[in-house]
Amino acid sequence: MATPSPIAVRRIQRELSDITKNPIPGISAYPVDDDLLRWDGKVVGSSDSPYKGGSFKFEMTFPPEFPFKAPAVKFTTRIYHPGINEEGSICVPILRDEWKPTVSIATVLSVIQEKVNNPSPDDPYEPEIAAQLKSEEAKFMATAKEWTKKYAS
C-alpha cells in the first residue's frame, strides 16, 4: 500500500470534512476503514433518469500524489450506460486529461452523478450502447431500466 504525501492527507481530510458537513444529495463517498486513499461511494439514480430507483456503488482510489494526479473511479454495480464500460470505468474528462490540482472531491462526485443520470452518446466508453441511445432511444431506456432493476435495486 502506497503512503500518501502529507499534502494528500491534509487535502483529503479537509475535503472529507467539507462533504460530510455539506453532503451532495444523491451521492456519497467515504474512506474504507482508515485508508484515506480508498473510498467507497454510491450514486442514486434520479427520478428523471432511466436509473431511477437504482443505487450504484463505486470505488474511488486516490493516488499518493493527489491532488496532482486524479483519483480513479470504478463502478462495482453493473450499469447499462454509454459512458461506463463493462469493467466499471467511467469516461469523464475531469478524471483524465482535464484534471487540475484545484478540482475538489465534491466536484468529482458532482460530475460522476451528472454523468450517471444524464447518459449521452458523446465521448462514450461503450460505442454500441451510445449508438443505441442515438438510434433506438426507447430500446436503450428499456434496457437501462431493466439492468437497474436487476443489478442496482
The residues assigned a catalytic role are 91
Distance CA 92, CA 32 (A): 23
Q: Would you tell me the crossing angle of helices 105-117 and 6-21 to the nearest 10 degrees? A: 60
Sign of the CA dihedral running 130, 123, 127, 153: negative
Grid-cell match 460522476, residue found: 112
Asked if 32 and 38 count as a contact pair (C-beta separation under 8 A), the reply is: yes
3-state secondary structure of 32: strand
Please work out, in degrees rounded to the nearest 5, the angle formed at the alpha carbon of residue 36 by the alpha carbons of 34 and 38. 95
Peptide linkage before 67 cis (omega within 30 of 0): yes
Asked if 115 and 95 count as a contact pair (C-beta separation under 8 A), the reply is: no
